[in-house]
Structure 1
Amino acid sequence: MNELTDKTVGFIGLGLMGRPMCRNLMKAGLTPVVYNRSPQPRQELAREGAVAADSPAEVAEQADIIVIMVADTPAVEHVLTGPDGVLHSLRSATLLIDMGTTAVPATRRLAALVEEKGALYVDAPVSGGTIGAEAGTLTIMAGGSEQAFALARPVLSLLGERITHVGATGAGQVAKAANQVIVGLNIGAVAEALALAKAAGVDPARVRAALRGGFADSRILEVHGQRMLDNNFAPGGKCTTQRKDMHQALELAAELGLEMPATALSRDLYDRLIDDGDGDLDHAALFRLYTKS
């Protein structure tokens, strides 16, 4: 906390993940300058002690460190380069930390624009969903220079428990792409396994209990398997977000000449779920593809 005493932290993007993350900064004694495209979340946090800004540019006018947690690559681009974007008033030596899941080529291009202004850039996407965001236990995978990462670490440590500097700019987003491939395929495996048990007339809850502790066990089986059993798909991470992340991973693979057929199939299954109207449900709702009558 001492390293942040004289710093003003900005936070842009107050959605499912951003809002609890910003609250964790406030619990640590910071007074963040906040912006969100829709006014209600920033007004809500202002009532709790944050300072509400009317644009990303206004955040940049005040903040020494800016955390961005928005939905997708176009949203990050708009926050930085839009008519009232951060780049219009970005000061030299400011640190930008993109904690959303952004395409790797765009990350490197945006980082170059930021660095042209004399500022620093870290891509630091997260894993752990809203559970981790609320508890401050996110897994954070960071890309950027050693200098930028060192400056980012005090903020990141207020938001997550496992923080890894993966490599140069874009490396954090590469790690997140790998994470989302594993998450998506694992959700699919758990959904199919529990659906198989149910179709065979065996209690899927007991099957899940039998699998715990063996080679098939995982955080997905623990958390999302329970959601499937409970038919509780209140979003921690939305189907649309999971689909977007897997598509970005496939785009990166295509640029590298790598085939990922299992990931492509999983992405297509999420397309079916979204077409069925379930896009805003938690990504564990993939189970519904197998259990709808």
Structure 2
Amino acid sequence: MSDIRKLGFIGLGVMGEPMCRNLAIKQSFPVLAYDTQAAPLERLAHSIAVAKSVGQVMRETDLVFLSLPSGEVVAKICEQPDGLLANCRSGQIIVDLSTSPVELTRELYEKFKAKGVLLIDAPVARTRAAAEAGTLSIMVGAQEPEFAQIKPFLSTFATEITLCGPVGCGQVVKILNNMVLFETVAALSEARAIAKKAGVDPKKLFETLALGSADSFALRNHGLKAMIPGDFPERAFSVEYAAKDLRYALDLAEQTEVDAAGARNVRRLFELSVARGDGDLYHPVISRVLEDKVY
């Protein structure tokens, strides 16, 4: 594998922009970045060079990071005429920080492998605030030598970096991480609605649950910080984005012949939340569905 001299970064959205900023600031290699929107490129202009296309990023860099909204977008930029496959060269490494379907990840791995290019899946977990602070959690699908090679770069924006197995395994773990989170948020939504109607202050409920065996990251963050104050901003992890990740989990469940009934229940809540006009809001907003008695 060729030496790394220049880094590429494609996708400067909610998570990509702060990750790219940390990457550019905390290591010594130049970074060439691309996004369809001008604003994040302008905000990062002091620490990156700006590419005119994804093809340019691939032609001019050695290690390319992707942070894109879906596996469908990852597939598009890989396979479009001026995309990554058309412009790659032997010895390059692509690290997909996006959450993508496992099957797609493994298919793209084989296509790039045929050209001497390594694709590594490294989806990220935690919040935008964690991306800005450089404290993300990353689940990696790779072999040990390649993992060791990219880990220092991942460490610029993550504090927990786990090798989960060969290619695709990072996506498996990330998708299941999100499935469990969504199911926990659904359980908290149910508990909140029941407590409120039974005469218990939901805030008191959640604060007390946090002291016992029902405590969880979701309770302390999605519950106490979002559901209780009713704070469901846009440009956070929206219902529609969450529904996309849950679809990947349900597809994986079907492929592995597992009856994921809990995940299907959450899918129903997501569908109802979108129907009431909350699709662009932070996904704990599904708690409103139970308040509306539409479930």
TM-score tier, shorter chain, comes to over 0.9
Match of 1:230 in 2: 229
**For 1:205 and 1:252, how far apart are their aligned partners in 2?**
36
After superposition, where does 1:199-218 map in structure 2 within 5 Å?
199-218=197-216
**For 2:99 and 2:22, how far apart are their aligned partners in 1?**
20
After superposition, where does 1:95-114 map in structure 2 within 5 Å?
95-114=93-112
**For 2:70 and 2:166, how far apart are their aligned partners in 1?**
21
After superposition, the C-alpha distances for 1:211-266 in whole angstroms (9 at most, x for unaligned) are: 11311001100011121111111143111111111111111111121111110110
RMSD of aligned Cα (Å): 1.6
Could you say what secondary structure the match of 1:10 adopts? strand
Match of 1:53 in 2: 51
Letter in 1 for 2:274: I
Aligned pair count reads 288
Distance 1:87 1:43, change over 3 A: farther
Letter in 2 for 1:203: D
Could you say what secondary structure the match of 1:166 adopts? strand
TM-score normalised by structure 1 residue count: 0.94
Match of 1:17 in 2: 15
8 Å CA contact 1:142–1:164 kept in 2: the answer is yes
TM-score normalised by structure 2 residue count: 0.93
**For 1:112 and 1:26, how far apart are their aligned partners in 2?**
29
Match of 1:198 in 2: 196
Letter in 1 for 2:281: L
Match of 1:262 in 2: 262
8 Å CA contact 2:4–2:62 kept in 1: the answer is no
After superposition, the C-alpha distances for 1:63-86 in whole angstroms (9 at most, x for unaligned) are: 111110101111001121112211
Match of 1:43 in 2: 42
After superposition, the C-alpha distances for 1:180-233 in whole angstroms (9 at most, x for unaligned) are: 110110111111112222222221111111111311001100011121111111
Match of 1:173 in 2: 171
8 Å CA contact 1:94–1:120 kept in 2: the answer is yes
Point out where structure 2 has 5 or more consecutive residues left out of the alignment: none
Point out where structure 1 has 5 or more consecutive residues left out of the alignment: none
8 Å CA contact 1:149–1:165 kept in 2: the answer is yes
Alpha-carbon shift at residue 156 of structure 1 (Å) = 1.1
Could you say what secondary structure the match of 1:93 adopts? coil
Could you say what secondary structure the match of 1:152 adopts? helix
Could you say what secondary structure the match of 1:49 adopts? coil
8 Å CA contact 2:209–2:215 kept in 1: the answer is yes
**For 2:276 and 2:21, how far apart are their aligned partners in 1?**
34
After superposition, the C-alpha distances for 1:140-180 in whole angstroms (9 at most, x for unaligned) are: 11002223212211111112111111111100011112101
Identity %: 35
**For 2:73 and 2:117, how far apart are their aligned partners in 1?**
20
Alpha-carbon shift at residue 6 of structure 1 (Å) = 5.9
Distance 1:50 1:126, change over 3 A: same
**For 1:203 and 1:255, how far apart are their aligned partners in 2?**
42
Alpha-carbon shift at residue 28 of structure 1 (Å) = 0.7
Alpha-carbon shift at residue 49 of structure 1 (Å) = 2.3
Match of 2:33 in 1: 34
Match of 1:249 in 2: 249
8 Å CA contact 1:13–1:35 kept in 2: the answer is yes
